[in-house]
Each structure stands twice: as structure tokens, then as C-alpha cells.
């Protein structure tokens, strides 16, 4: 049986390969990972606000604001005032932003397919089940 450091190392290697592939594809779209995450999040949560995006990214409000401003300047995101609170802005993708978000989704689908190709259907089911179990355990186990 492989020791626990082997598991951590294997997961780390897979994460590195995934990150390199993802960054390569996102670079072709003119995006960095945080920009892609914002567009993906706003597509899934239209009308969300800056605070929710910052929480999703694990970033400070100021750096999130700069990120949103850049996406707005590129014409991919709009900020619309909320009726109940004029200071708060609801975030929506523009038509062009939705096209980019779809390309991001296609990128993730391609990466998913790449990772799945080396395994049988049973191996995939087993791997997903084991990773889900490990994730649930680690979420409750703490440090």
C-alpha cells in the first residue's frame, strides 16, 4: 500500500497538470484564472454582487473591484444599480461576456474529457466516489 505522502504528491501532480492545461487554454482566450472564475460565477449567479464574487474568489473587496472593472472595460460584464440600495451593484454578463463564459465552459469540458480518457467507466466512478469521500472527510477533519 502506498503511504499518505504518495497520495498527496499524486493529487498535487494532477492539480499541477490541470492548472497548466487550464492556464494555456485561458491564455488563448485572453484571460487569467481569476477572470475566468468571475465570468463563470456571474454566469451561474446573474445579479450577484461584488461581495459574493470576492467570497467566491477568496479575495479582498478592493482587488475584486479592480478585477470587475477590468472585465467591465473589456465589455464582458455590466454593473447595474440595485433598486433597494443604489450603492450596491448587481453583476451581469454582456452578450460578449456570455460567449466568453461559454468558451470557458468548453475549456473545462475539454480538460475533463482529457482526464477521463485514460480510465474506464468503472475506474472513473470509483475515482469520483473516492475523491468525494476524501473531500468530505477533509472538510470535516480540519487541520
**Which CATH number fits the domain that encloses residue 125?**
1.10.10.10
pLDDT for position 12: 92
The domain tally of the chain equals 1
Cell numbers at 124, concatenated? 472513473
* Residue 93 pLDDT: 97
Residue pLDDT tens, the chain, 143 long: 455 568 889 899 999 999 999 999 999 999 999 999 999 999 999 999 999 999 999 999 888 999 999 999 999 999 999 888 878 899 999 999 999 999 999 999 998 998 899 899 999 999 999 999 999 999 898 75
pTM of the model: 0.79
**In the block, which residue shows the cell 454578463?**
93
- The four Cα atoms 91, 96, 100, 103 give a dihedral, to 10 degrees, of 130
Q: What is the pLDDT of residue 62?
A: 84
The whole domain housing 116 covers 4-141
Cα Rg of the chain, angstroms: 18
In this predicted structure, what is the pLDDT of residue 83?
A: 86
Q: Which of 128, 101, 118 is nearest to 42 (CA)?
A: 101
In the numeric block, which cell numbers belong to residue 36? 475566468
Model pLDDT, residue 55: 95
| CA distances to 6, 7, 78, 132 from 3, in Å | 5, 7, 50, 20
- pLDDT number for residue 5: 64
Amino acid at each position: 500500500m502506498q503511504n499518505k505522502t504518495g497520495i498527496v504528491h499524486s493529487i498535487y501532480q494532477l492539480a499541477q497538470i490541470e492548472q497548466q492545461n487550464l492556464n494555456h487554454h485561458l491564455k488563448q482566450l485572453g484571460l487569467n484564472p481569476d477572470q475566468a472564475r468571475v465570468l463563470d460565477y456571474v454566469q451561474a449567479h446573474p445579479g450577484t454582487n461584488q461581495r459574493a464574487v470576492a467570497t467566491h474568489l477568496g479575495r479582498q473587496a478592493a482587488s475584486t473591484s479592480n478585477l470587475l472593472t477590468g472585465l467591465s472595460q473589456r465589455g464582458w460584464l455590466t454593473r447595474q444599480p440595485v433598486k433597494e440600495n443604489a450603492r450596491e451593484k448587481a453583476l451581469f454578463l454582456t452578450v460578449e461576456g456570455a460567449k466568453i463564459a461559454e468558451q470557458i465552459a468548453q475549456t473545462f469540458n475539454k480538460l475533463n474529457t482529457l482526464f477521463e480518457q485514460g480510465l474506464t467507466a468503472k475506474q472513473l466512478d470509483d475515482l469520483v466516489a473516492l475523491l468525494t469521500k476524501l473531500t468530505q472527510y477533509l472538510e470535516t477533519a480540519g487541520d
